[in-house]
Amino acid sequence: MGFDDIDYQNRPVVAILNTWSELNTCHSHFRNRADEVRRGILQAGGFPVEVPVMSLGEMLMKPTTMLYRNLLAMEVEEVLRCHPIDAAVLMGGCDKTVPAMLMGAISADIPSVFFPAGAMLSARWKDVTLGSGSDVWKYWDERVAGNLCDSDWKGIENCIGRSAGTCMTMGTASTMACVAEALGFTLPGAADIPAVVAEHSRLATRTGRRAVEIAWENRKPSDFLTAQSIDNGLMTSLAIGGSTNAIVHLIAIAGRLGIQLTLDRFDELSRTTPVTGDIRPSGRFLMEDFYNAGGLRALLNELRDLLNMDCQTINGITLGQQCDGAEVINREVIRPRDNPVAPAGGTCLLRGNLAPNGCVIKSIAADPKLLRHRGPAVVFNDYPEMKSKINDPDLDVSADSVLILRSAGPLGAPGFPEWGMLPIPKKLLQAGVRDMVRLSDARMSGTSYGTCVLHIAPESAAGGPLALVQTGDEIEINVPERTIHWHVSDEEIERRAAAAPPLKELPPRGYAHLYAKHVGQADIGCDFDFLVGRTPGAEPGIH
């Protein structure tokens, strides 16, 4: 490779774990950024080595990147463990790459700093500001309703991906970047810097320099992450009106630390955490506005009384010190405590006979009129059936119906895809309906919105009660009371359970087999059972 001894002797080996791929649209700037990270590592006296790891791009992977989150986590863990690596820069951004890389680094327990891809710049079409994901769904509904011509659709398509970077709404990518910063895994201020501004390049180089320092300090994830940091991550995702996916990922991240994060803990924090970030899809603005408004540090600075500001970070200072002096520049984007987007309960845990182990709803992204609702079920057995029937003019459905999709969970789909924002039937769109109560064992994109009850556990494919619901059954949700009720007698449920077909068999081989055999349900974070917890006394290379 052409190195002299002096190139690497007495220098920490710092790996740049890069999730760049030409099939990951959100990471298209990562080749440049890797060079900028390398510059920082060299400046600080380290020996940089770039190591590609699996890329999980939301746009082009089927059936869903979530199927592969744990695979990337395993790859990161083993790549860090089997090479002579002293510290790592984790380059991720698009949704699942963030939790996967954090989970892997935690399990390997090697000094690691996360470098988020940053969000795209805000998009404009005509005089409209477009937000990725959210406005795709919104304008697709208009197109189905017949309100948008071909050339307008093409215009939107050409504008909505403004630059390199992740979705610029508060989707899963930006939510998880904020969570990573709140956990203490990034440099201060990293979460909200847009992907293509000069500051993002400077962040890359600074991150490289810091990676060399943490190698000398031997500052490992286990040295700064605690149950209190995990709480900070959860409260942050709630306060920014973040993606429901953050709950699943944080449970999995905590699990790698040996910390059991429960949905009940999530419920407790949800009842006390205000939503102050006014960002789409639950609010009005985009990530670039959030950055210009002061960003995450400013938002967290105003929640000092709720957060655990004493938690340590990768930077050798506390979260409180990281947020010191951060000012809110724009009060519309980061709302004051006495005039928040919601005083609490932006995302809620529901329980009831249809979801014995819980389910979630992002109530701030729903039509408030539907948060207490009772209606007859319209059940789709799986995604293909839903696709083939949803726009059928003869489908017996009204605005009061409760649309239900099953076989869409971790096992059923498989992979726990983002099918939870079921489309509104075309005939109802044409009649002006834009939201309905929808229920599934799926997830939904962080950029999605609507009255969608998600992550029903146990899922139908694992024998959950959702498997037994029939079209016409009455379903009731009451979000203020945190309940979901299926109005069918226990005897009838037992009768249907006895007549239910056996559960699906495991796929016979390959990753799909490993996945189906070991994946956990939504309420426990969907990690593989054999990856949860810490390996006592493990050292790199010794299992």
Among positions 237, 273, 308, 445, the unique one binding Mg ion when judged by CB under 5 A: 445
DSSP per residue, 476-531: EEETTTTEEEE---HHHHHHHHHHPPPPPPPPSSHHHHHHHHHBPPGGGTT-BGGG
CB of 462 to ligand FES, least distance (A): 28
Binding window for Mg ion (CB under 5 A); candidates: 169-177, 247-255, 404-412, 478-486: 169-177
Residue 95 near Mg ion by CB under 5 A: yes
* Beta carbons within 10 angstroms of residue 457's beta carbon: 23
CB of 153 to ligand FES, least distance (A): 19
- State how far the Cα of 517 lies from the Cα of 513, in Å rounded to an integer: 6
CB of 60 to Mg ion, least distance (A): 13
Question: Of these partners, Mg ion, ligand FES, none, which one is at the site of residue 131 (CB under 5 to 8 Å by kind)?
Answer: none
Question: Of these partners, Mg ion, ligand FES, none, which one is at the site of residue 26 (CB under 5 to 8 Å by kind)?
Answer: ligand FES
CA angle 518, 521, 523 (to 5 degrees): 140
At residue 326, the 3 state secondary structure works out as coil
> By 3-state DSSP, what share of the chain in percent is helix, strand and coil, each rounded to 5?
40, 15, 45
CB of 415 to ligand FES, least distance (A): 16
CB of 168 to Mg ion, least distance (A): 12
CB of 249 to ligand FES, least distance (A): 14
Among positions 116, 171, 414, 525, the unique one binding Mg ion when judged by CB under 5 A: 171
- State how far the Cα of 398 lies from the Cα of 401, in Å rounded to an integer: 5
CB of 342 to ligand FES, least distance (A): 24
CB of 95 to ligand FES, least distance (A): 5
In the numeric block, which tokens belong to residue 511?
């990753």
- Residue 344: closest CA among 286, 303, 296: 303
Largest CA distance in the chain: 77
Taking the least distance from each CB to ligand FES, the nearer of 301 and 447 is 447
In the DSSP assignment, the letter for residue 120 is: P
Taking the least distance from each CB to ligand FES, the nearer of 92 and 274 is 92
- State how far the Cα of 157 lies from the Cα of 375, in Å rounded to an integer: 36
Taking the least distance from each CB to ligand FES, the nearer of 47 and 68 is 68
Question: Of these partners, ligand FES, Mg ion, none, which one is at the site of residue 94 (CB under 5 to 8 Å by kind)?
Answer: ligand FES
Determine contact, residues 95/58, Cβ cutoff 8 Å. Answer: yes
CB of 133 to ligand FES, least distance (A): 6
Binding window for Mg ion (CB under 5 A); candidates: 46-54, 187-195, 370-378, 444-452: 444-452
* Contact flags string 11-50 toward Mg ion, x per CB under 5 A: ----------------------------------------
- Residue 324: closest CA among 341, 340, 300, 342: 300
- Residue 320: closest CA among 335, 310, 333, 332: 310
- State how far the Cα of 70 lies from the Cα of 126, in Å rounded to an integer: 41
Taking the least distance from each CB to ligand FES, the nearer of 171 and 281 is 171
Taking the least distance from each CB to ligand FES, the nearer of 322 and 448 is 448
Question: Of these partners, ligand FES, Mg ion, none, which one is at the site of residue 189 (CB under 5 to 8 Å by kind)?
Answer: none
Give the sign of the dihedral formed by CA 300, CA 165, CA 446, CA 443. Answer: negative
- 181 vs 156, 322, 415, 530, CA distance in Å? 32, 10, 27, 27
Taking the least distance from each CB to ligand FES, the nearer of 157 and 264 is 157
Determine contact, residues 418/136, Cβ cutoff 8 Å. Answer: no
Taking the least distance from each CB to ligand FES, the nearer of 171 and 375 is 171
CB of 235 to ligand FES, least distance (A): 22
Taking the least distance from each CB to ligand FES, the nearer of 118 and 520 is 118
Taking the least distance from each CB to Mg ion, the nearer of 136 and 334 is 136
Determine contact, residues 450/473, Cβ cutoff 8 Å. Answer: no
CB of 116 to ligand FES, least distance (A): 11
Cβ-Cβ contacts under 8 Å for 276 (sequence gap 6 or more): 239, 240, 299, 302, 303, 334, 335, 336, 337, 340, 341
Binding window for Mg ion (CB under 5 A); candidates: 5-13, 82-90, 298-306, 443-451: 443-451
Taking the least distance from each CB to ligand FES, the nearer of 177 and 311 is 177
Taking the least distance from each CB to ligand FES, the nearer of 155 and 161 is 161
Burial class of residue 543 in the structure, from the number of CB atoms within 10 Å of its CB (0-12 exposed, 13-18 middle, 19+ buried): exposed
Total binding residues toward Mg ion, as defined by CB under 5 A:
6
In the numeric block, which tokens belong to residue 344?
């609490």
CB of 195 to ligand FES, least distance (A): 10
- State how far the Cα of 543 lies from the Cα of 540, in Å rounded to an integer: 8
Among positions 24, 28, 169, 172, the unique one binding Mg ion when judged by CB under 5 A: 172
Taking the least distance from each CB to Mg ion, the nearer of 165 and 375 is 165
- 460 vs 13, 156, 380, 410, 455, CA distance in Å? 47, 37, 12, 10, 11
Instruction: Give the binding site for ligand FES (CB under 6 A).
Output: 26, 58-59, 94-95, 166-167, 171, 173
Residue 445, Ramachandran bin (φ over 0: left; ψ between -120 and 50: alpha; else beta) = beta
Taking the least distance from each CB to ligand FES, the nearer of 117 and 366 is 117
Near Mg ion in 50-79, by CB under 5 A = 58
CB of 163 to ligand FES, least distance (A): 13
Strands (DSSP E) found in 11-119 = 13-18, 47-52, 87-92, 112-116
Residues that bind Mg ion (CB under 5 A): 58, 95, 171-172, 445-446
